[in-house]
Amino acid sequence: MLQDKLMTKKDAISLQEVRKNFGNFTAISSVSFNISDNEFFTLLGPSGCGKTTLLRMIAGFEATSAGKIKLYGDEIENLPPDKRPVNTVFQNYALFPHMNVTENIGFGLQMLGWSNLEIDRRVMEMVELVKLNEFANRKPGQLSGGQQQRVALARAMAPKPKVLLLDEPLSALDLKLRKDMRSELKKLQRETGITFIFVTHDQEEALSMSDRVAVMSSGKVQQIGSPSEIYEYPVNRFVADFIGETNLLDATVEKKTRGELIICRLSNDQRVTASTNSSVSVGQSGAISIRPESLIMGKRPHDSTDLKGVLGQSTYLGTDTQFEIRLGPGLTVAVRIQNSVLNLENFRNGDQVFVHFADDVARFLVD
């Protein structure tokens, strides 16, 4: 029992069978996972998957329909937002328009009853941290989107929350700024040691910043893992399809071989070696997931396992070119190859090509 308590103490947030219904609609159906101290944890999923609802339940803006939310071991699901030692960075920042930068950042500290001297010191520290010294007396309306974003961050971090919740904080910024903010956020998280829970629908954001990512869809957590885990070893069709680009080919298990490798038959009767992490039986149907960049294409076959196909449309993407290759009726794969390793002149629409599957790049996903 004691050990159990010590274990949970380590987790910043612990969700236990958390559920949320809006009338008859189930927004979150029984979600359980833990987020460790100092972790950069991301909730990733398409819009409507319940990621923001989950974040709002941790913040206290939505009541839980069932289940427990623990913050460093203390149950917080029944506390109002102003009694929870977590702070939020809102999607559109929600900076108070009638207060200047300093007043916005100091608001939380004032509410916590800090002395004016302490507030001034902490606000200056935060203004310094987000590099807004020159703008301290401006109102939000006089700041650019990126500056407002920094104020929102500083305001949420000023009260030294145990956990910082970020609700798609970068979505309102333009691409260039968004990329800069990514590394800055990551740096801030490492420097302050605050646990970040970051909500986004942008997989690139999730992969580039997070320690761990929870991929969500229709109110359920589909997979939790490190960015490389969910990218390279997706557990199901949804995750494989949502994270990055992938070829999903219907397949049936034909033979189990050594270790995790299995031989699968595609719909055109060609065979592919794939890895799997779930126990499968011969004859089981599912899908094979292969990233376009993991495939190799050539005019001549590498070996006997290569698949023959006809080159379809090619799309120039700057550093890469993506080719559509027809392997058979209703069976097309996308192959992405760096332009620097390929002479584009040699590959024309209608050419016969060979596609090489390395053993460990194909993943078999059970339906």
Binding site for another protein (CB under 8 A): 59-61, 80-83, 86-88, 90, 92-98, 107-108, 111-112, 139-141, 148, 155-156, 159
**78's torsion region: left (phi>0), alpha (psi -120 to 50) or beta?**
alpha
- Minimum separation from the CB atom of position 202 to another protein (A): 21
Q: Which residues of 324-336 are buried (b: 16+ CB within 10 A; e: fewer)?
A: bbbbeeebbbbbb
| Residue closer to another protein, measured from CB, 21 or 92 | 92
Going by C-beta distance under 8 Å and a sequence separation of 6 or more, which residues neighbour residue 60?
76, 79, 80, 81, 83, 84, 86
Going by C-beta distance under 8 Å and a sequence separation of 6 or more, which residues neighbour residue 301?
308, 354, 356
**First CA to last CA distance, the chain:** 39
- Minimum separation from the CB atom of position 99 to another protein (A): 8
Phi then psi dihedrals of residue 327, to 5 deg: -90, -25
Cα–Cα distance for residue pair 16/27, rounded to 1 Å: 16
| Residue closer to another protein, measured from CB, 151 or 280 | 151
- Minimum separation from the CB atom of position 103 to another protein (A): 10
DSSP category for residue 293: G
| Residue closer to another protein, measured from CB, 152 or 239 | 152
The amino acid at 51: K
- Minimum separation from the CB atom of position 143 to another protein (A): 10
**97: helix, strand or coil:** coil
- Minimum separation from the CB atom of position 111 to another protein (A): 4
| Residue closer to another protein, measured from CB, 81 or 183 | 81
Q: Which residues of 274-294 are buried (b: 16+ CB within 10 A; e: fewer)?
A: bebeeebeeebebbbbbbbbb
| Residue closer to another protein, measured from CB, 139 or 326 | 139
- Minimum separation from the CB atom of position 105 to another protein (A): 10
